A and B are shown apart, each in its own frame.
Chain A
Amino acid sequence: MEIWISQLFNGLSVSSILLLIALGLAVTFGLMRVINMAHGEFIMIGAYGAYMTQQIFKSALPRSLFDAYFPVALLASFVLAFAIGYLLEVTLIRFLYGRPLDSLLATWGVGLMLQQLARTIFGAPNVAVSSPTWLDGGWALMPGVVLPYKRLFIIALVAFCLFAMYLYIYRSNAGRRMRAVMQNRDMAACLGISTRRVDAFTFAIGSGIAGIAGCALTLIGPIGPSIGTYYIVDAFMVVVLGGVGKLVGTVAGALGIGVFNTLFEWWTDASLGKVLVFLCIVAFLQWKPMGMFAVRSRSLDG
């Protein structure tokens, strides 16, 4: 029983990180038909943003303030990733709309360059970010089951981001414009929505959320220039499994992959677990080729 609970908790924790990463991917793909392979590098940017914030706190501010660095780092990561995402959209991505395969290759190139840039600036070895002391320890749920505060914090953070994202997409004017563009770009443009601005802003938000994910990852372990590549393919599988265009699909996809990945790895071993998850996804797609929650459309070549 104890081991089941802690495994499920681990699965939930993996899912929550995956969800944060896949959120931006699903939105950009649904909105612009652009596959952003450099998305993983925004995780890396966020993680190094947290690292730099910590270095600044260490060197410039009194020791007593050190524990306050983390909220600042979260904000810094978001802003940094948001800004770089906006820049990328304006300079490159907008030339690639509607060409998913080309955008995939071009953004892969961007990712490669960003990784190499990080390697040049920060060095190739991983760097460690010491987490704030108020996240040490864990919550003893029952004898034998201790849930680390760090992972609980990450889950709470993800829940918060998800809620904010929900409010933005479904309850704000900007979100309504975004959904309109997603459903019918030409019609939305005819009604006076600046699709250019919606695209750029949405891409930047997706990047910013990936930055938050990167900041959260610094709590779990050391970070390096290629940290994004570990997560990016899994995050894409979330998008494929969950379907494009609905928040709930991404959530369900992330939960499914995260939990099953953890469970299969527990039952078999790390390498076989991944194979089983892949087989399950392919099997599931036999049943629902467009993913769990696809937006229905009458167009044939949507």
Chain B
Amino acid sequence: MQWMSRLPRRAWLLIGYAAAAAALFSAPLYLNDFRLNLLAKCLAFAIVALGLDLLWGYTGILSLGHGVFFGLGAYAMAMHLKLAAGGSRIPDFMGWMGLTKLPWFWEPFKSFAFAAAMGLILPSALALLLGFFTFRNRIRGVYFTILTQALVIITVTLFVGQQAYTGGTNGLTGYTKLFGYSLTSGTAKTLAYLATAAALLAAFAVCRYLVNSRFGKVLRAIRDGENRTRFLGYDPAYYQMAVFAVSAGLAGLAGMLFVLHVGIISPTMMAIVPSIELVLLVAIGGRGTLIGAVIGAILLTQAKSQLSASYPDFWLFLLGALFIIVTVFMPGGIVGLIRQARQAILRRRSENEITLDSIVPKSNGVV
């Protein structure tokens, strides 16, 4: 064990990240198609979890509305795919609803670049708008949370109600092609997976940069004492709006990737229950740590796909129990448990051998 402590913590961290990245990018080599697709879904959820963690773990704002931002991204991508699938005809469900012409706002989605841009811009803009009208008036805490949940309800009713434009309850499905290539072929699936893995890495790098920057420090200051931050001369509202928009943009990105893997998006996937499940991803992994969000997303999504199909009743009981256990017994999540265990080991070791470290407290590294 002695040699482990010679390397600085930073180097270990880097080695760990490199190993994780290598494992992610080589996954197509050792996973079959089904597993790869599942992992791709997990990684997409990990991107949302990162954004949510930035908002909740670091800034202390709980949003139950991330399903909406996820859904907006997904719909933007699905609209493009739907148009690409139909060729010059209008999408099938519009025909059933009696439309003869493509609605004007569908028109630009024929371009992939526009659709991809909208998948990021629409969620961020909506978040910015809602943030503008809430944070500036110091509506925060549970009031904000409840408003985001109401946002979910109205968005879902709107998408279900405006059937001719959104596909209603069925959502958008029945597309298989992107850029003229089939999405169902093995190569395309591998490429889509690699794109998701790259997006996750990029998102992780961006979040890490944000968290370690001055901006991130202000976010944590807002979480720990909003009014104190205000008295120090910062306006929390703008920071909150910014982080909410970034978080929503990440959710939109995840939604776009999700559609590529799953091939369907419907209002049920952005309803209240999926939205709050996104929060659980972060809570289980460990809020306030970026790697925790990723771990939580991968573990819980895997568990869900294993259990919810074979034991649907048991899964709901487990999900409910998880919410309670995580909040009451392990608010730090999995990462928090690991930290506690490490501290316990360190403490025991320092009891056995009296070293300089145990007498002079070592300055804690930045986490």
Q: Which residues of A contact B (CB under 8 A)?
A: 29, 35, 92, 95-96, 100-106, 108-113, 115-116, 119-120, 229, 233, 236-237, 239-240, 269-272, 274-275, 278, 281-282, 285-286, 289, 300-301
Contacts and interface: CB of A to CB of B under 8 A. Distances in A.
A101 B331 CA distance: 12
B27 interface: no
Nearest to B322: A109
B154 A100 contact: no
A87 to B, nearest CB: 14
B323 interface: yes
Main secondary structure of the interface of A (DSSP, over half): helix
B20 interface: no
A108 B323 contact: yes
A34 B237 CA distance: 25
A115 B272 CA distance: 15
B215 to A, nearest CB: 23
Interface in B190-249: 226-227
Given A95-B328, A105-B280, A274-B154, A285 B134 contact: yes
B59 interface: no
Interface string B302-328: 000000000001001101111110111
Interface of B: 62, 130, 133-134, 137-139, 141-143, 145-147, 149-151, 153-154, 157-158, 160-162, 226-227, 272, 276, 279-280, 283, 313, 316-317, 319-324, 326-328, 331
Contact of A289 (B139, B276, B313): B139
Contacts of B151: 278
A233 B138 CA distance: 21
B327 A278 contact: no
Given A101-B141, A233-B150, A236-B149, A115 B327 contact: no
B327 A96 contact: yes
A105 B283 contact: yes
B230 to A, nearest CB: 10
B323 A112 contact: yes
A110 B331 contact: no
B320 to A, nearest CB: 4
A300 B283 CA distance: 28
Contact of B320 (A100, A109, A282): A109
Contacts of B280: 105
Contacts of B313: 116, 119-120
A274 B280 CA distance: 27
5 contacts: A104-B142, A113-B316, A271-B161, A275-B158, A281-B147
Contact of A285 (B137, B160, B272): B137
Nearest to B155: A275
B142 A100 contact: yes
B316 A116 contact: yes
B322 A270 contact: no
A237 B138 CA distance: 17
A101 B326 contact: no
Contacts of A233: 146, 149-150, 153, 272
Given A104-B142, A112-B319, A92 B328 contact: yes
A240 B320 contact: no
Nearest to A100: B142
A282 B324 CA distance: 31
B327 to A, nearest CB: 4
A271 B328 contact: no
Given A109-B322, A240-B147, A289-B137, A274 B157 contact: yes
B146 A236 contact: yes
A274 B150 CA distance: 9
A236 to B, nearest CB: 5
Contact of A270 (B134, B157, B316): B157
A222 to B, nearest CB: 20
A285 B139 contact: yes
A83 B323 CA distance: 23
Given A109-B320, A116-B317, A271 B160 contact: yes
B37 to A, nearest CB: 27
Contacts of A289: 137-139, 143
A282 B316 contact: no
Nearest to B56: A101
A25 to B, nearest CB: 10
Given A96-B328, A113-B317, A282-B134, A105 B154 contact: no
Q: Taking each of A96, A106, A108, A274, which has the highest tally of chain B beta carbons within 10 Å of its own beta carbon?
A: A108
Contacts of A285: 133-134, 137, 139, 143
A29 B323 CA distance: 20
Which are the 4 A-B pairs with shortest beta-carbon distances?
A271-B161, A109-B323, A112-B320, A113-B320
Nearest to B61: A101
Among B143, B158, B160, B162, the most chain A Cβ lie within 10 Å of the Cβ of: B143
A240 B226 CA distance: 21
A108 B154 contact: no
B154 A229 contact: no
- Interface-central residue, B157, B227, B326, by most chain A CB under 10 Å: B157
Given A115-B316, A272-B161, A240 B143 contact: yes
A119 B134 CA distance: 38
Given A240-B147, A270-B157, A102 B227 contact: no
Contacts of A106: 323-324, 327-328
A105 B278 CA distance: 12
A218 B22 CA distance: 58
